[in-house]
A and B are shown apart, each in its own frame.
Chain A
Amino acid sequence: MMDALTLAVIQAGLQQVCNEMDIAFSRSAFSPVIAEADDRSDGIYAAADGALIAQGELGLPVFVGTMAHSAAHLVRLIREGAVATPEPGDIYIVNDPYLGGTHLMDVRFALPFFVEGELFCWLQNTGHWPDIGGMVPGGFSAHATEVEQEGLRLPPVKLFKRGVLDREILSIIQSNIRVAEQRIGDIKAQAAALLVGEQRLREMVARYGLATLRDAIAGISDRAANRMRAEIRRIPEGTYKAEAFVDSDGVVNEPLRIALTVTRAGDELHFDLSDSSPPCQGPMNSVWATTCSAVYLAMKHIFPDVPINAGTFEPIRVARPEGTFLDARYPRPVSGCAAEVSQRVAEAVFLALAPVLDIWAAPAGTSGNFALGGFDPARNAGYVMYQITGGGYGGTADADGLTNGCSTIGISKTAPVEVMEQYYPILFRRFAIHEGSGGAGRHRGGFGVHYEVELLRGEAKASFVMDHGRFGPPGVRGGGDGARNVVRLHRDGETTIPAHLSKDQGLRLRAGDRVEVMTPGGGGHGDPFTRDPALVARDVMRGTYTTAQAESLWGVVLRDGVVDEAATQARRAAR
């Protein structure tokens, strides 16, 4: 067996190769989604089956599991002769969601890594392109009913052949997407990142030799599996159930149900999602790779110290939920799967295990996409604006939840108000805490955001892809639910809400109209009647809850803002 030091050093080295690819990609990418929001990921995959060898620590969490699926499909298609055989210097491009992807905007590049003429592994990355064509700019449709409406779908093809960019494929891509001239910058950055990885990996091969590297990769994977098994043994044997709901699919106004059963058997965890809703008409279907990855990323959130490679997820068995909206097949539309559905799947995992692990109540769990497309007469130019927002995180056993936390699947920051107002004909009337939104509990949920945007000039159309408009993020262990997501349109003196609450598109706005959004708070953790009354009084003083809420939610009676101890005791005892 390999010695412990070599194993640890090679593990750190492979990790470093991936981290350097992540950095190289972000620092030269054009798309703000990649450069600022880090909506990308880089990794190394096995030649034989696409299994994950190592993945960058700076990548977007949702890609934790998807790229191994993508690599596996690529390896299979090459073996079947459906895709051309790799040669040194090639880079494949693919964004097909059904071949191990997410939504169409997530474009994968894969570079075959050869040593002495033999394929040793794949270097692969994913980057979220700001547009991939389709019926709405940016790709987050609320109304698509087939994948063709969502944009350009690329099967695996060689974008670079023996190191040379294929201008013909490039021109097909550029003819089918918006703001095409900037994409050449992203394509160069995405390919350059893989070349950085190739060079660094070559240095490792030279230093350690192929045989040692192979042994170490196997050893690292075994260790990760053992590590995950050890973590799993902390969960009491048994079966745990939870459900989570997507508001609607954007087309049919009915909730979609995620039904999860988790079983700990020995040192494995089995995830069964087969009782979930059938495939839906609108774009809230999830492809298998994304569903599976959502379970993986939830487990990585729960056990953050476990390194990520194929072994990590070996003891996590997710049964493919055939016949449900979580295993969408062509041509089901899927643009909501990465941003929203994956977060509901992760929420179900959290809710199932929260009773037996020291974790959190449900987080807001929506990316809060609000897109505004219009024409600015002052600049005589069209524009597409994206506003994303966070929400409250769930309370934990030790603390209240974080306010305005990032989506579960992301790590990206939002743009400042001052930057948005520089670029678009809008004025924010408010950017504030969503008061009262944190679910009650011994430790309450964090707060969502409450913002209001006014259109200053011209006309525009608003689209929303959000969630938790129908039910708030659930509390756990006796905690209350966080507040729901609310969208209001104030147009021409009238206030309306979208029929699907959190999803709609093409809503016409004129100058002076306003859009108001309140994002969800996190769920509460523990019995609210056991919360320290002083903290309840503090929150009331800060204006985040009312005196009446202090009494109804927490059983705390306040007189002029001061806790009435006797009345509080009586109120709490009388429950």
Chain B
Amino acid sequence: MADGVIAGIDVGGTFTDLLLRGADGRIHLAKVPTTIANQADGVLAAIEAAGATPATLDLIIHGTTATTNAVLERKLAKVGLVTTLGFRDVLELGRRTRPNPYGLKGGFEPLVPRELRREVAERMDARGAVVTPLDEDAVAREVRALAAAGCESLVIHFLHAYANPAHERRAGEIARGIWPNGHVTLGHELLSEFREYERGTTASVNAAVQPVLDRYITRLQEQLAARGHKRDLLVMNGNGGTVSARLVSRDAAKTVMSGPASGVMAAAATLAQSGLRNAITYDMGGTSTDVALIAGGVPEVSAELSIAYGLPIHLPMVDVRTVGAGGGSIAGLDRAGMLRVGPESAGSTPGPICYGRGGTRPTITDANIILGRLDPARLLAVKDAVSLDSIREVFARNLARPLGMTVEQAAEAVIRLGNVHMTGAIRLVSLSKGHDPRDFCLFAFGGAGPLHAVALAREIGIPEVLVPARPGLTNALGCLVADLRQDFVNTINRGLFEIPEDEIAATLVMQRDRGIAMIQADAPALDDIIVLHSAEMQFRGQTHLIRVALPHADMALENIQKAFEAAYFARFRVELPEIRAVLVNLLTTVIGRRPSFPLSALLDPEARRGGIDAARIGDRDLYADGAWHRAAVWQREKLTEGAVLTGPAIIQQADATTVLEPGSRAIVDAIGNLRVTP
């Protein structure tokens, strides 16, 4: 089945990006400013800029930062909590941590303040047996009190509800009869996993963003419908899949980290069509860099991520790690005269010196300008133009003169040291998952990823860099290619051989049936529905979990044990036959596979027919490896398939700049990727 005319629309911090695939298979692009007050205006503007109207679109897949921004800026709904007697402070106490390993400063405010956290008598034990029956009158009383206190959203979170949700469900029934709107979150419904602080916080995040997302999506749907669009949107989730707009608000927390996830999904789709299976995705922006691992073609998913200190969201999400270094990272000398780059950042305001927004301290982006790696005329975020001389003067004063270097040497040192720190971060991300980064290719995107990727790959020892056709539109591409997806987790936490076999099968089948029902609720054209079962396991006494794929729901315990031992050995190279295995969680992922399309369409085939000479647009001075070079400048959109470029070279396109270091070599592959040997 085909989708007809489809649009992937991603709302980012600065720009709203759109990729539209017409019925003829041709791709249209648009990049318009994000409209902060109502993101829907930017979405409509992007559709218009691509020469379409909502009425002509058969399907819109949408990635939004509405909930991300709400959490980061704390512009959240007022939430009330009803919880187990004796435990209302769980959300504030956390698990005995501090924001930084050194320094006893800093703190956090819980999402629900203490006066809005109410207790009722009820208690389950760890096996799910009732210790204290639910005080239903107290539930009604406290729910009324919270509504009267002006709460817009309600969380019901009881101890051990993952083991037996009866009390949460009953309290939910009572609450829904009282609550003035539909915003009632039951802790176990979102996440049926043990650990009361993480589950409760996840539920609170959900409740806090639910009204925000609901308002936004409703308004967007109305504006689209008023212009003739007939279908429900699909909305991107942090798990890298999409869900129907009608269902998205219920599990609103799943959208909170969807932006980075869609970039990784685009990377996975690109890899699949490039014949590659392993990649480290590297998305460098102004203030931070997102790094994720794709092993065996599948992005790694984690249910242990945090949005910020004290804000864990334990929902399965594409495991994107954010490194606090970007183009805005500030370079300077410490009190002992030692060169430092970051962790301090100029961010986007004031930003690097070259943005002309008041930045006065040298940054990585400024170093790129000095060295000719970046063309100041092509910066997108500049307010007042700043002369190269004035940037050089800052580098001379702050770095070059005290260090006894030339300005160029200082600028190159800044980039090199920034790359060294980035290398360390990338290595730690991959090693903590048991992978050697040298077995991966570096998939570079985002505004600044392709600028540094080749040098970075050299530093790490990565054998290949892949720069996709549209590095600056990757998130929109992620929307366009994303499948529908639902994830489920249930905690078992018992020795493997203490569990009745039919209990495992029954849990997995229940998860599967729920997922299929949700995906079919409003399915667009689907090629297939795929069900993936897995178990999270550990050896008794251990705390780390190992994910073990289960080929089907009806598995013999011995085979689960064998699969676990194999997975454990693959990761740690240790066999421990004397220790018993524990099955902690059962998981099911249901994927509604949407039709795929050839990514070669991302670059206009007409523009690529002129031959290699037509793609060369000039030369520029580029400083690298301690010397100035004359580097060829190429127009990315015009590069023909099979074209071979050698560094030093600069490849420019509307949405990014790629630098080929001296000695590196790039070839343009069949779908328009640059494949660089660093």
A residues contacting B by CB (< 8 A) are 3-5, 7-9, 11-13, 15-16, 19-20, 23-24, 27-28, 30-32, 35-36, 57-58, 61, 179, 181-182, 184-185, 188-189, 223-227, 230-231, 300-302, 304-305, 359-360, 363, 388-390, 393-394, 396, 398-406, 408, 411-414, 416-419, 421-422, 427-433, 446, 449, 452, 541-544
Contacts and interface: CB of A to CB of B under 8 A. Distances in A.
A401 B108 CA distance: 10
A400 B107 CA distance: 8
B214 interface: no
A235 B613 CA distance: 65
A28 B417 contact: no
Interface in B121-170: 123, 125-126, 131, 159-160, 162
Contacts of A363: 104
Contacts of A402: 98-99, 104, 106-107
A185 B159 CA distance: 33
Given A61-B102, A182-B541, A542-B114, A227 B338 contact: yes
B86 A430 contact: yes
Contacts of B123: 427
B102 A404 contact: no
A27 B544 contact: yes
A416 B335 CA distance: 42
B336 A360 contact: no
Contacts of B114: 433, 542-544
B541 A16 contact: no
B159 A230 contact: no
A411 B576 contact: no
B598 interface: no
A226 B420 contact: no
A30 B96 contact: no
A418 B543 contact: no
Contact of A421 (B89, B160, B335): B160
Interface string B74-111: 00000000000011111011111111111111110000
A414 B337 contact: no
B405 interface: yes
Interface in B549-603: 572, 574, 576, 578-579
- B99, B102, B417 — most chain A CB neighbours (10 Å): B102
B424 interface: yes
B334 interface: yes
Given A421-B125, A428-B86, A24 B92 contact: no
A531 B244 CA distance: 50
Identify the 7 closest CB pairs spanning chains A and B, nearest first: A230-B335, A390-B96, A226-B336, A304-B102, A227-B336, A430-B86, A542-B114
Contacts of A225: 336
Given A9-B417, A429-B86, A544-B114, A24 B431 contact: yes
B93 A422 contact: no
Contacts of B101: 57-58, 61, 411
A8 B432 CA distance: 24
Contact of B104 (A36, A301, A411): A301
Main secondary structure of the interface of A (DSSP, over half): mixed
A416 B98 contact: no
Contacts of A58: 101
Nearest to B195: A416
B541 A406 contact: no
B105 A404 contact: no
B453 interface: no
22 contacts: A4-B339, A5-B339, A15-B424, A16-B423, A30-B541, A36-B543, A181-B579, A188-B574, A224-B336, A304-B103, A363-B104, A393-B98, A411-B101, A414-B96, A416-B195, A416-B196, A417-B159, A417-B196, A421-B160, A431-B86, A431-B93, A542-B114
Contacts of A185: 539, 542, 574, 576, 579
B104 A360 contact: yes
Nearest to B540: A182
A433 B93 contact: yes
Nearest to B432: A23
Interface residues of B, number: 68
Interface in B417-443: 417, 420-421, 423-424, 427-428, 431-432, 434
Nearest to B573: A192
A182 B540 CA distance: 9
B413 interface: yes
Interface of B: 86-90, 92-107, 113-115, 123, 125-126, 131, 159-160, 162, 194-198, 334-340, 403, 405, 413, 416-417, 420-421, 423-424, 427-428, 431-432, 434, 493, 539, 541-544, 572, 574, 576, 578-579
A555 to B, nearest CB: 23
A438 B213 CA distance: 37
Contacts of B197: 416
Contacts of A422: 126, 194, 493
A557 to B, nearest CB: 20
A507 B252 CA distance: 49
A406 B544 contact: no
Contact of B115 (A227, A300, A411, A542): A542
A394 B424 contact: no
B338 A7 contact: yes
Contact of B96 (A3, A181, A188, A405): A405
A430 B132 CA distance: 14
A226 B337 contact: yes
Contacts of B542: 30, 32, 35, 185
Contacts of A302: 103
Nearest to B113: A542
B97 A300 contact: no
Contacts of B90: 417, 431
Nearest to A399: B107
Given A418-B126, A429-B86, A404 B93 contact: yes
A421 B126 contact: yes
A23 B403 CA distance: 34
Given A181-B579, A301-B103, A417-B196, A8 B339 contact: yes
B337 A223 contact: yes
Nearest to B93: A404
A403 B115 CA distance: 16
A359 B106 CA distance: 11
Nearest to B541: A182
Contacts of B100: 304
A4 B103 contact: no
A416 B105 CA distance: 24
Contacts of B434: 27
A244 to B, nearest CB: 15
- A225, A231, A452, A542 — most chain B CB neighbours (10 Å): A542
A89 to B, nearest CB: 18
B86 A406 contact: no
A431 B195 CA distance: 13
Contacts of B579: 181-182, 185
Given A185-B539, A400-B107, A404-B94, 8 more contacts: A3-B405, A35-B542, A181-B579, A389-B96, A398-B105, A405-B104, A411-B98, A416-B194
Contact of A396 (B105, B194, B417): B105
A5 B413 contact: yes
A433 B195 contact: no
A89 B362 CA distance: 46
B105 A418 contact: no
B578 A20 contact: no
A28 B572 contact: yes
B556 to A, nearest CB: 25
B312 to A, nearest CB: 11
A404 B338 CA distance: 36
Contact of A4 (B86, B125, B405): B405
A181 B578 contact: yes
Contacts of B115: 541-543
Nearest to A10: B420
Given A404-B96, A422-B126, A223 B107 contact: no
A405 B310 CA distance: 12
A226 B338 CA distance: 10
A28 B340 contact: no
